Structure 1
Amino acid sequence: MNETNNPISEINIEIFSPQKRLKLRHIEKKNENEMEVDTDQDEIYKSRRLMIPGQSIAKEGEYLKGHGTFHFDGNLIASVCGNIERVNKLVSVRAFKSRYNGEIGDIIVGRITEIQGKRWKVDVNARQDYFLMLSAINLPGGIQRRRTSSDELQMRNLFVENDLVYAEVQQIMGDGSVAIHTRNLKYGKLQNGCFLKVPSNLMKRSKMHFHSLDECGVDVILGLNGYIWIADTEQQRKQQAFIQKHERENFDQPLVLPEDHKEITKESRERIARIKNSISLLAEGFMVIHPKSIMQVYKQSIKMALSAKDLLHPEYIRQITTYLSTLPLENDSNLDMHEYPEEQ
């Protein structure tokens, strides 16, 4: 019999057991050209290439349409400028400048906007306000019990409008609403510091988001939602020690910080202002914000003998961002290995 007319010759037979106890499985050959096309497309999405509005991503029907894409003339087209992301057959384009979209476990900084029944509404730079339930916070003194109506009446003693909170995303509901919590002792109310807002896409996801920059004596909380908190390390330690003592001894009374625990020296204020403007410079240059990049700008500004306010001058922004672009890129694993304490 001629082999060219025999269909069995086009089938590969693989034996999955040396003892031949398993049945033979027939695997059809794939066209080599098709395999090369799939490999090329996988490489495209692995590289997270940059897309611009109107650019074709793939043929219609090859992939599912996700956020930032639309179908036109038989093609899947990008509607925003950003990086392409792929989850199995779902393709989306994540815009460079967009609202924060929370995920469970994200560390964020938020601002209280409203007090409702047994919960606070919190602005976190997202499409809608997140909510912090009364049952999702630590009661004064660390008491573990069910919340009662008297606790609801005392909600304003805990958080009021415009208070800043350090929290973690706890749950995402089916209707899109998001719940956060401050049950851990490292979370809670933020006082006596500087608040800064940057695009959330510039924030680097890492193991820790509370960093103590020992070289300049400044604490920084880098919220994944683009809200950043900056404070003096020494003042925060004194303040935290006083709060812990108050919760142990007088937790049933309102907390009032003494004036000597609020004092921040002029030198500390200058260091905080320099760190704040260093972060603003990175945001102006659209560069990733993490402790090493902040300290690189901080040290370079001192080396150039610049004052804190001069960091935001357009010419100095151009010079420093050009300098940072010449530095060797750090591995992601190295950026996460900071010896900064997570707890205050």
Structure 2
Amino acid sequence: MRGVQLSLNKTQKLRLETALEKLESLSSSTSNNSNASVTVADTIPINYEDGVLKGHGTSEMDGRVVATICGLVERVNKLVYVRALRARYKPEIGDIIVGRVMEVAPKHWRLEINFSQDAVLMLSSMNLPDGIQRRRTAVDELNMRSIFEENDIVCLDRGQLLRISPYLVKRRKQHFHHLDQYGVDLILGCNGFIWVGEHVEAKDDMVLDQMIKSEQENASLSGSVSSREQEQSHTSIEIRQHICRIANAVRVLSTLGFMVTVELITELVDLSISHNLDIHEMLGAEFYVVVAEKEAERRSLATKKR
């Protein structure tokens, strides 16, 4: 939150500083109670009788285990380590991520996933358009660009890809969200890639292919474009506005350094609508200040309830 750079007047600057100071005090009081967050040279309380193993981000000094980086103390059985908050994304088994195609290579796609190395999506791991389970042939390899090509977002289209710091996305059981009230799909990638796009109905591939083929045959006979093709290539203005509003909510949370959750995103969207703000006004200085004040108030009430 200290790195926020906004064009604020004196009143807005004072209000924002007050809200951020309140948030920092609430955060520090919570961490002191749980001993979960540490800075460099902080002592990590451990029980030597349990045969503790010192992991990444820890070091022994004068008979004490101290932190060598800023982050959160994690314990896995006897292993104690510190997970850095602002470190580069490190993939873990089970992570839900969003990838962007960088290259179409022989029998695989090379994907950008906000990591030091690119990911690989094998052709053999893809469901073919005909829905039949079979071995991939040379023809399938030649038709790879009909599935994904350069700069495509894997499995999705018609939306926005946002890139934020990975530490702002907390690992949860659910990372795919359908915001029914807006007709928008939201994917919170653990790698910091956020996808906001038009809702896509999940349908059986074989049934969908048959419907498309029949409409294409009818269109070729009539010489006109099918209604399904028109629908697939068009996104209504209302849906586009919802996508932009949700994307701006993510940008505001990221700039302020708040955790990006579906609950906070929908809360910011509703807040902007209740204040009769246009989409571009969400990125104005006043809205940042209002969001910071609302978050400070929310956390203060949550602390009092405890």
Alignment partner for residue 208 of structure 2, among 245, 254, 264? 245
Identity within the alignment, %: 39
Q: C-alpha offsets along residues 181-201 of structure 1, whole Å, 9 cap, x if unaligned?
A: xxxxxxxx2111111112222
> In structure 1, what is the equivalent of residue 130 of structure 2?
141
- Whether 1:89 aligns to 2:78 is yes
CA deviation after TM superposition for structure 1 residue 219, in Å? 1.9
After superposition, what is the alpha-carbon deviation per residue over 1:175-226, rounded to whole angstroms, capped at 9, x for unaligned? xxxxxxxxxxxxxx21111111122222233333222212223221222222
The answer to whether the aligner puts 1:161 opposite 2:127 as a matched pair is no
How far does the alpha carbon of each residue in 1:64-107 deviate from its partner, in whole angstroms, 9 at most, with x for none? 33222334454433222211111123221111112222233322
Q: Is residue 53 of structure 1 aligned with residue 24 of structure 2?
A: no
Counterpart-to-counterpart distance in 1, 2:281 and 2:62: 51
1:1-344 counterparts in 2 under 5 A? 47=34, 49-57=36-44, 63-165=52-154, 189-233=155-199, 236-237=200-201, 245-246=208-209, 250=213, 258-327=229-298, 328-329=301-302
Q: What is the TM-score of this pair, normalised by structure 2? A: 0.73
Q: Distance in 2 between matches of 1:75 and 1:114?
A: 49
Distance 1:297 1:59 in 2: 40
Unmatched segments (≥5 aa) in structure 1? 1-43, 166-188, 331-344
Q: TM-score, normalised by structure 1?
A: 0.65
Count how many residue pairs are aligned between Structure 1 and Structure 2.
258
Distance 1:49 1:219, change over 3 A: same
Q: 1:248 to 1:265 in 2, by over 3 A?
A: closer
- Report the 3-state secondary structure (helix = DSSP H, G, I; strand = E; otherwise coil) of the residue aligned with 2:134: coil
1:127 match: secondary structure: coil
Compare relative contact order (CA 8 Å, sep 6+) and give the higher one, 1 or 2. Answer: 2
For residues 302 and 105 of structure 2, the distance between their equivalents in structure 1, rounded to whole angstroms, comes to 47
Which residue identity does 1:99 align to in structure 2?
R
Return the letter of the residue paired with 2:268. Answer: V
Instruction: Please identify which structure carries the higher helix content.
Output: 2
CA distance in 1, matches of 2:210, 2:190: 29
Three-state SS of the structure 2 residue aligned to 1:83 is: strand
Structure 2 gap ranges (5+): 1-30, 217-225
Match of 2:10 in 1: none
